[in-house]
Structure 1
Amino acid sequence: MPEVELVIHTVPHEGEPPAIDGTELAPRRFVSVEAAKAAADELPVPDGWQRKESIRDVLTGLELFWRSDRVPGWQHA
């Protein structure tokens, strides 16, 4: 199982952002896809900031799974 990273992509929003608008929050690394998915449900991201969550392979940078507010559940990339 490859080491993976969870990336939260943000959108422009009024107020103080958790990161620069329209970019990614700092990736967080996990030893498995399951651990990254579980953490995604627990991370404190204010409503309205999140556009998409991605789980990527650390070595290759390839997106393995993603989800967004518009598409329910995790999708295979």
Structure 2
Amino acid sequence: MRFYFDSGTERCYGTRVAVKETDTSVEVATIVGRLPNAPGECTLELRKASVTVKTDKPIGERKVSHLEGIQLH
């Protein structure tokens, strides 16, 4: 599956995903944040970004939804 979202420049912002799969559903969260090694000043540029999520099993009839309440580290 591919998810599309807005993000900042690649030199300043990174993306990761969290996925929770069951037999009946696939929940996905895209997490965007400033990179630890980003320069001190980042421009306020908006870009369209995407991320591909691979699942353990084919989606089939499973419901795909937003993953709520994830713990950020």
Higher relative contact order (CA 8 A, sep 6+): 2
Query: Quick check: which has more Rg, 1 or 2?
Result: 2
Higher helix share: 1
Higher strand fraction (1 or 2): 2
Q: TM-score, normalised by structure 2?
A: 0.27
